[in-house]
Amino acid sequence: MRLAMDRVLRSFGYTVATAGDGEEALGIFRKQPADLVIADLYLQEKDGIETIVELMKEVPAPKIIAISGHRARDLMLHSAERLGAVEIMHKPFTAESLLAVVESALGKSHPTGPKYLRSSTGTARRPSLRPGSQH
C-alpha cells in the first residue's frame, strides 16, 4: 500500500517521503515539516492514533488523512477524526479516490507550487507524502 501510494502521488507531481512506523514518521516530520500527513492507524512502534496526537502538538500542525483497513476501522477512523484528522479513508481505495482526498485535504483541485505533504503510513515539495505501513 505504501509503495502504491508513493507511485500514484509522485506521478501527479507530489514529493513523497515515507516512514515504516509512527515513530519514524514523527522524526522525519520534525526535521522537515509537511502540510499533509497520511497516517495508517495500525502501525508498529507508535500507532496512527498516537502519531496523530503527537502531530497535533506540532506548530503548525499538519493536515492529516487517517486510513485503515482493520476490522475495527470505523471506530478508529472516527477517533482519528475527533483528534484532528481532516479526512478519513477505508482501505482498500483507488488511486483516484486517494488523489481526490489529498486534493480535498489540501484545499485545491491540483497540486501547484512547492508544498510539503507527509505521511506516517505505508503512503507534498509540491506536496509530499509520508506513508509508513504496508497494511
DSSP string of 7-25?
A: HHHHHTT------SSHHHH
pLDDT value of residue 108: 65
Domain boundaries, the chain: 2-106
DSSP string of 86-124?
A: SEEEESS--HHHHHHHHHHHHT-SS--SS-----SS---
Query: How confident is residue 67, by pLDDT bands cut at 50, 70 and 90?
Result: very high
H or E element: which one contains 36?
A: strand 36-40
**Residues 10 and 117 sit within 8 Å (Cβ to Cβ):** no
Q: Is the pLDDT of residue 120 over 50?
A: no
Q: Is the pLDDT of residue 135 over 80?
A: no
Rounded CA-CA distance 119/129 in Å is 5
Q: Which three cell numbers stand for residue 100?
A: 481526490
Top-confidence residue, 49 or 116: 49
From 3.20.80.10, 3.40.50.2300, 1.10.10.60, 3.90.1150.180, which CATH number describes the 2-106 domain?
Answer: 3.40.50.2300
Q: Is the pLDDT of residue 8 over 70?
A: yes
Top-confidence residue, 135 or 35: 35
Q: Is the pLDDT of residue 115 over 60?
A: no
Q: Which three cell numbers stand for residue 21?
A: 512506523
Rounded percentage of the chain residues whose pLDDT exceeds 90 = 53
Mean pLDDT of 65-81: 88
pLDDT in tens, 30-54: 998 888 999 999 877 788 899 999 9
